Amino acid sequence: MELVSEYYTIAEVAVLFRVSHQAVRRWIRSKRIVSIKTPGGNRLIHRSEIERYTSRSAAPTESHAAVERRMKRLADSLQGTPTKRGANR
């Protein structure tokens, strides 16, 4: 069973796409990606939204598979599970 978070923070999405958190906020404001706002005021992006954005991006800088691998590594590092590289990031 693959343990991957269903929701990601703006910072986590920025790491996945290798962009700044400001870029992710711009994507949310321009409705390029959809987020939810928690009662505490934080924005969360659902995994399916990340996948949708990756698959529909007009000129993706990298493959969907590359983003999927980073999503898995990020989830593993958040859970303290060693990655194939042998280090948590």
The pLDDT tens digits for 28-82 are: 999 999 999 999 999 999 989 988 887 776 444 556 677 777 777 777 777 765 5
Encode 2-34: b = buried (16+ Cβ within 10 Å), e = exposed.
eeeeeebbbebbbbbbeeeeeebeebbeeeebe
The pTM score is: 0.63
pLDDT reported for residue 59:
44
57: containing domain? 7-79
In a domain, 89, yes or no: no
Q: Phi then psi for 33, rounded to 5 degrees?
A: -130, 150
Residue of 89 and 43 predicted with greater confidence: 43
Cα gap 88→81, rounded to integer Å: 7
pLDDT reported for residue 30:
93
In a domain, 87, yes or no: no
Cα gap 69→65, rounded to integer Å: 6
Looking up residue 33, the CATH number of its domain turns out to be: 1.10.1660.10
In a domain, 84, yes or no: no
In a domain, 52, yes or no: yes
pLDDT reported for residue 23:
93
The domain tally of the chain equals 1
